[in-house]
Amino acid sequence: MIDIAVFDEHKLMLEGLVSLLGGVSDLRTVLICDDRGVLVQKLKAMQVHVLIMNIRDISVRNLNLIIQLTISSPKLKILIVSMIDSEETVLKTIKAGAKGYLGADSDRNDLLEAIYTLRSGHDYLSKSITHLLLNRYISGMQTGESDQPAGIGSLSLRQVEILKMWGESYTNQEIAERLFISVRTVESHKNHIMQKLNLKSTVDMIKFAIKNNIIEI
């Protein structure tokens, strides 16, 4: 018997996911949750084998949640379910502590397979993801470089975090206070971002952030 927790901020999708798990004899859905805070609290207090977590983006929010869960519930296997089939997303979630990733074209069978695989102690990546990583790896070796001029992938988590806050109209001072770092450090981060992305002005930086869904308009 495998104990499952399911998390999704979108209630309907959450119910849909849970519904997909119904009728499987050796799976038991013990936690259904659409609130991040509640999720962490509940998981701390109970023994769950696999957490199915649906995410829509790789915001710092989401990555932090994964990291937090990895720390607070070390035995828990986190299975990410996401529409996003990008190398970057997969790597970042895995790095944050997730043990499995189901991409856009995964179906119910893949979901079940992933659950069993995770339960048995192994990692699981869906076929499309495996292909993606392989292709990138191969083409990466051939060309030596990726095709993007310089993307969000080249930014570190911290850099994205600063960019996001700044894009939400926080001043350097406010960012510094919230992150408990010096204003100069915030400036440094922004400088590094500009260098990496080869941007000439802050205006370009905002445009970049919007293009890459780091901030909303």
Partner DNA sequence: CATTCCTTACGTGAAACACGTAAATCCGTT
Partner DNA sequence: AACGGATTTACGTGTTTCACGTAAGGAATG
Distance of alpha carbon 189 from alpha carbon 162, whole angstroms: 7
Q: Which residue has the tokens 């849909």?
A: 16
Residue partners of 30: CB distance under 8 A and separation at least 6:
3, 4, 5, 46, 48
Name the site residues for DNA (rule: CB under 7 A): 95, 154-159, 171-173, 179, 181-185, 187-192, 194, 196, 200-202
From the list DNA, a copy of itself, none, which binds 184 (C-beta under 5 to 8 Å, kind-based)? DNA
Residue partners of 37: CB distance under 8 A and separation at least 6:
none
Beta carbon nearer to a copy of itself, 177 or 204: 204
From the list DNA, a copy of itself, none, which binds 93 (C-beta under 5 to 8 Å, kind-based)? none
Q: Is 19 a binder of a copy of itself (CB under 8 A)?
A: yes
What burial class does residue 166 get, using C-beta atoms within 10 Å of its C-beta: 0-12 exposed, 13-18 middle, 19+ buried? Answer: buried
Q: Is 11 a binder of a copy of itself (CB under 8 A)?
A: yes
Q: How far is the CB of 166 from DNA (least distance, A)?
A: 7
The type of residue at 62 is N
Distance of alpha carbon 168 from alpha carbon 217, whole angstroms: 9
Q: Is 101 a binder of a copy of itself (CB under 8 A)?
A: no
Distance of alpha carbon 28 from alpha carbon 38, whole angstroms: 19
From the list a copy of itself, DNA, none, which binds 11 (C-beta under 5 to 8 Å, kind-based)? a copy of itself
Q: Which residues bind a copy of itself (CB under 8 A)?
A: 9-13, 15-17, 19-20, 22, 34, 54, 56, 81, 83, 102, 104-108, 110-111, 166-169, 171, 200-204, 206-207, 210-211, 217
